[in-house]
């Protein structure tokens, strides 16, 4: 099944979607998610809104296998082939074409920018396309091309975020998960980064799920979204407009 997928993948982008059903998860005895269900359809950008400590990151971590849900199902559907992600190791989930831009970027600080990017292409399906993808990310982020030899740990926060996004793209993902891109960055840089992610999503026909606490930033990329409060989906907005007009969001984020 897997080799079949690889062969087809080289030619075109596969339709892929995520379905998360009644997921419960936590850390030790602390339960963070109490039955969360969301879907991310092919080619959509879905945002997961909520302030700190409500479970956005935990949900993203459940999808990539970093946190194992205690109940519920997480399935990936690629062109009709369904894979249950619960219980899989992160490296195997990434191998299916789900890339994550982690909160706090998590670069390899003592490796150069280029070495970080090359590691992004570690998964077997991405290796044959490494030259094209490297050209692509250098074109997208010219700054990274200038600084390709510099150690990632010595770069500014904005540049590091570029490396983190570029590194995720190097794995040729079908689905891109972005966890809190605004953490530790100036608002102007966050705007630029989110605009860039939106552009990349359209160019590469990716599916994007972004967890973000800053509503005004997140709404720029959202096709639709969810608001997560105390580990439950408190509101589901079918369009970006619905999200903007929602009373709860107005109250929490827009100060209305």
Furthest-apart CA atoms within the chain: distance in Å: 53
**To the nearest whole angstrom, how small is the minimum distance from the Cβ of residue 132 to another protein?**
16
CB atoms within 10 A of CB 148: 15
Token representation of residue 97: 């074409």
CB atoms within 10 A of CB 30: 6
Q: Which of 100, 176, 208, 218 binds another protein (CB under 8 A)?
A: 100
Q: Using the rule CB under 8 A, is 187 a contact of another protein?
A: no
Q: Using the rule CB under 8 A, is 107 a contact of another protein?
A: yes
Closest CB to another protein among 26 and 90? 90
Q: Which of 26, 43, 95, 158 binds another protein (CB under 8 A)?
A: 95
Closest CB to another protein among 114 and 212? 114
**To the nearest whole angstrom, how small is the minimum distance from the Cβ of residue 134 to another protein?**
13
Cα 37 to Cα 22: distance, rounded to the nearest angstrom = 5
Q: Using the rule CB under 8 A, is 91 a contact of another protein?
A: yes
Contacts of 101 (CB under 8 A, 6+ apart): 164, 165, 168, 176, 177, 178, 179, 181
Residue 184, by phi and psi: left (phi above 0), alpha (psi -120 to 50) or beta?
left
Q: Which stretch binds another protein (CB under 8 A): 23-31, 51-59, 109-117, 240-248?
A: 109-117
- Quote the DSSP letter at residue 180: -
Q: Using the rule CB under 8 A, is 153 a contact of another protein?
A: yes
Q: Using the rule CB under 8 A, is 102 a contact of another protein?
A: yes
Closest CB to another protein among 82 and 91? 91
Of 232, 226, 220, the C-alpha closest to 249 is 226
User: Is the distance from CB of 181 to CB of 193 less than 8 angstroms?
Assistant: yes
Cα 67 to Cα 50: distance, rounded to the nearest angstrom = 19
Q: Which stretch binds another protein (CB under 8 A): 34-42, 52-60, 118-126, 214-222?
A: 118-126
Q: Which of 26, 90, 158, 184 binds another protein (CB under 8 A)?
A: 90
Binding to another protein (CB under 8 A) within 200-239 occurs at none
Binding site for another protein (CB under 8 A): 64, 66, 89-91, 94-95, 99-100, 102, 106-111, 115, 118-124, 126-127, 151, 153-154, 167, 171
């Amino acid at each position: 099944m897997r080799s079949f997928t690889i062969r087809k993948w080289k030619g075109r982008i596969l339709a892929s979607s995520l379905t998360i059903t009644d997921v419960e998860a936590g850390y030790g005895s602390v339960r963070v998610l109490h039955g969360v269900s969301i879907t991310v359809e092919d080619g959509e950008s879905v945002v997961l809104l909520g302030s700190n400590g409500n479970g956005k990151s935990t949900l993203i971590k459940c999808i990539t296998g970093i946190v194992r849900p205690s109940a519920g199902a997480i399935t990936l559907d690629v062109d009709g082939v369904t894979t249950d992600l619960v219980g899989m190791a992160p490296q195997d989930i990434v191998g299916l074409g789900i890339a994550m831009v982690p909160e706090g970027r998590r670069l390899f600080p003592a490796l150069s920018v280029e070495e970080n990017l090359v590691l992004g292409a570690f998964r077997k399906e991405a290796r044959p396309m490494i030259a094209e993808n490297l050209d692509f990310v250098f074109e997208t982020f010219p700054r990274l091309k200038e600084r390709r030899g510099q150690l990632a740990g010595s770069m500014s926060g904005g540049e590091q975020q570029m490396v983190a996004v570029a590194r995720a793209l190097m794995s040729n993902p079908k689905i891109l998960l972005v966890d809190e891109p605004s953490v530790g960055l100036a608002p102007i840089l966050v705007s630029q980064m989110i605009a860039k992610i939106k552009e990349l999503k359209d160019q590469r026909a990716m599916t994007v799920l972004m967890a973000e606490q800053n509503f005004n930033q997140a709404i720029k990329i959202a096709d639709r979204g969810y608001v997560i409060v105390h580990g439950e989906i408190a509101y589901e907005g079918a369009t970006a407009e619905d999200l903007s007009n929602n009373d709860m969001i107005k109250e929490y984020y827009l100060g209305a």
